[in-house]
Structure 1
Amino acid sequence: MSAVPEDTMPDTTAAAESTRMYREVRESAAAIARQLEANRGVIGELAARLRRERPSLVATGARGSSDNAATFAKYLVETRLGVATTSAAPSVQSVYAARTALDGALFLAISQSGKSPDLVAQASAAREAGARVVAMVNVVESPLAAAADVVVPLHAGPELSVAATKSYLCSLSALLHLVAEWTGDTRLRDALAQVPDALEAGWHNDWSALVDGLAEARNLFVVGRGFGLSAAQEVALKFKETCGLHAEAFSAAEVQHGPMTLVERGFPVLFFAQHDDSYEGTMAVAGRFRERDARVWVAAPDGGELPFAATGDPACAPLLAVHRCYGAINALALRRGRDPDAPPHLRKVTETR
């Protein structure tokens, strides 16, 4: 693991530290620690009910970064609980006014603001269709929270930068908390308890090579598999939003089916990996990109070109990896002459209908 003093790192200069994005990312560890303590009761009660009344299906409703968290929910619920999990399209209700059969399902709505009309309509329709609606939301006094049966507060605190960071990380920790209690998995529970300290420790790893390598880039592939796919999706979105860099996320399985043909010498590719059954396959794909002379970085726990801290369960890896990558993205945005707090043409709350 490569660690250097914080005051020598390119992405912790006075300019980088002055952004809201930087400050909010650095608040994430404390926010998650606060969340885990504050949500013991609501998560415990919800998990006990889900054990008694096992849902037939989990459907997720979300937009933007929250939808990337929903990808994480799919892999977490399906691998740890064996319950089929699908992303439901809000436009089915908000545009087409259609109704879906969700009797006996768990509908999981994830949002920072809880204000998007299409997500509120979707949650309301799911409740009317017989689903138990759980809202994981940062603003608890919001229309989405009012439409839910159970509210799980994210406890991220105010998030003012347009680029969502700590609310995404708090969404992942809330999902991990729910599944750990639902399954009674002590390993996952213990690993999650280590996350706040691991975030602080991992922040000091040197990712300057990524910032330097992408300073002039026009395109980027971000690749992950399993739990890591959510990380790839979220990071690709942030590169677009804050850096003006055309970044596309792919599964390590899907990137070989067509997208690889675009890769020429020096094409940048960022991989996210965790030490589970997907690791060897993901590393093999990274090797194939290197054979094509692509510029490859691998973010992996305590290893690879871009290390981050590890805990006792690989399901926590995306949270730790994305946290460290946010710092690099903040630095890259400034390096490219952009304000990461105020991306052009974007607003903090997108009220999609």
Structure 2
Amino acid sequence: MQSEVAHPSQSLMARETADAPQAVRAFLARNQDTLASLAQDLRGSPPSVVVTCARGSSDNAATYAKYLIETLAGVPVSSSALSVSSVFGAEMQPGRVLVIAISQSGRSPDLLAAVEAHRRAGARVVALVNDETAPLADLAQWVLPLHAGPEKSVAATKSYIASLAGVAAIVAQWTGDAALTEALGRLPDALAIAAGTAPFDLVERLSAATNLFVIARGYGFGIAQEGALKLKETCGLHAEAYSAAEVRHGPMTIINEGFPIVAFATSDASGESVRDAAREFAGRGAQVALLDAEAPFGESTLAALAGHAALEPLLMIQSFYPQVNALSLARGLDPDNPAHLRKVTETL
């Protein structure tokens, strides 16, 4: 006897996605003092480099951090290869390094080993972590709890969005960006609106798909990575994320008639590159679903709703998650318990 497929709104993933606006509201309200202390330290003694330590969805948040920090603070950002510390046991050289560690659980041994190696070399450490009792919190000078609450679905959603908001809050305080700070104040309400707006029907577009590309650029590239990851883990789709620039190299060869493309275009200078790629691929007959920050979105546009180009990706992924959830169920899968996965992955 075939089991009954749950309604899309009944899954843990759907409910936790809907909690993201409140998680962001809690993060911004409860971390004000820590953010101010961190910003004062960074302005007084700017790092020469930022190193991010993360895995999975958290690493996609780290991609967002790279673009935000490099464009708004002008400091280069590098992603730590965690096995350098956990497998090879290499030691880091001293320097003016800021480590931003992002983790829902804060317990993965390879992440902890990398952070410990940087601490031994004198790096300052910021932890964005949902479980503030985790070992990662003990390694950080500044702990920024995500305040997302328990996240029971294997697919991380509200903790990812809270991580993005946390990164944006760090950069806004660090750089004194008044426009970004003001937009962050309105972000929880904007996320709540985005959560109820479905920009394209993934169930109709991707129910029979096997492969697709997810493309974006700049601030949006981290959510392209996240979107592709969610389509893999909850829908069993071979989804690959590409920059709208990188996809024009070797990957272009396989984009032909009927090939599915999901694209995210922000309203800043990088968005036009995504729109150009989307138009070109549609001209070849590809099935292109474009979420454009400058196009109508409910009663407004994403650009107007976000109030700052750097926050548009948060609204995009907030509106995207419920559709991934629905697609997973439509394909007869369980978005809360993907095959072969568990909530906390403790890699070495």
TM-score, reference length from structure 2: 0.95
**2:174 corresponds to:** 182
Between the aligned partners of 2:109 and 2:194, the Cα distance in structure 1 is 37
**2:51 corresponds to:** 59
Between the aligned partners of 1:149 and 1:41, the Cα distance in structure 2 is 13
Between the aligned partners of 2:262 and 2:244, the Cα distance in structure 1 is 11
How far does the alpha carbon of each residue in 1:34-93 deviate from its partner, in whole angstroms, 9 at most, with x for none? 110001000011011100010010000000000000000000000000000010111000
In structure 2, relative to structure 1, the CA distance for the partners of 1:217 and 1:170 (3 Å cut) is same
Between the aligned partners of 1:76 and 1:324, the Cα distance in structure 2 is 21
**1:350 corresponds to:** 345
1:281: how far off? Answer: 1.6
Please give the secondary structure, in 2, of the residue aligned with 1:352.
Answer: coil
Q: 1:319 is aligned with what amino acid?
A: L
Between the aligned partners of 1:192 and 1:117, the Cα distance in structure 2 is 33
Please give the secondary structure, in 2, of the residue aligned with 1:157.
Answer: coil
Please give the secondary structure, in 1, of the residue aligned with 2:289.
Answer: strand
1:113 aligned onto 2:108: no
Q: 2:108 is aligned with what amino acid?
A: S
Q: 1:328 is aligned with what amino acid?
A: Q
Q: From 298, 304, 309, give the equivalent of 1:314.
A: 309
1:207: how far off? Answer: 3.6
Q: From 333, 336, 348, give the equivalent of 1:338.
A: 333
1:305: how far off? Answer: 8.8
**1:84 corresponds to:** 76
1:14: how far off? Answer: 7.1
1:220 aligned onto 2:215: no
**2:288 corresponds to:** 296
How far does the alpha carbon of each residue in 1:9-52 deviate from its partner, in whole angstroms, 9 at most, with x for none? xxxx9711110000000000011011100010000110111000
In structure 2, relative to structure 1, the CA distance for the partners of 1:184 and 1:346 (3 Å cut) is same
Between the aligned partners of 2:234 and 2:335, the Cα distance in structure 1 is 5
How far does the alpha carbon of each residue in 1:248-304 deviate from its partner, in whole angstroms, 9 at most, with x for none? 000000001011101121110011111001121211111110111100011122527
How far does the alpha carbon of each residue in 1:222-244 deviate from its partner, in whole angstroms, 9 at most, with x for none? 00100111010000000000000
Contact 2:199 2:291 in 1 (8 A): no
Q: From 319, 322, 327, give the equivalent of 2:322.
A: 327
**1:171 corresponds to:** 163
**1:211 corresponds to:** 203
Report how many aligned residue pairs link the two structures.
341
Query: Which aligned segments of 4 or more residues in structure 1 are displaced greater than 4 angstroms?
Result: 304-309
**1:32 corresponds to:** 24
Q: 1:188 is aligned with what amino acid?
A: L
1:261-280 alignment runs, 5 A limit: 261-280=253-272
How far does the alpha carbon of each residue in 1:297-321 deviate from its partner, in whole angstroms, 9 at most, with x for none? 1112252799757311100011110
How far does the alpha carbon of each residue in 1:176-223 deviate from its partner, in whole angstroms, 9 at most, with x for none? 111111111110011111111111112222345222110111111000
For the aligned residues, what is the CA RMSD?
1.5
Between the aligned partners of 1:122 and 1:304, the Cα distance in structure 2 is 44
Contact 1:267 1:295 in 2 (8 A): yes
Between the aligned partners of 1:208 and 1:294, the Cα distance in structure 2 is 15
Between the aligned partners of 1:293 and 1:305, the Cα distance in structure 2 is 25
1:104: how far off? Answer: 1.1
Between the aligned partners of 2:65 and 2:200, the Cα distance in structure 1 is 30
Structure 1 gap ranges (5+): 1-12
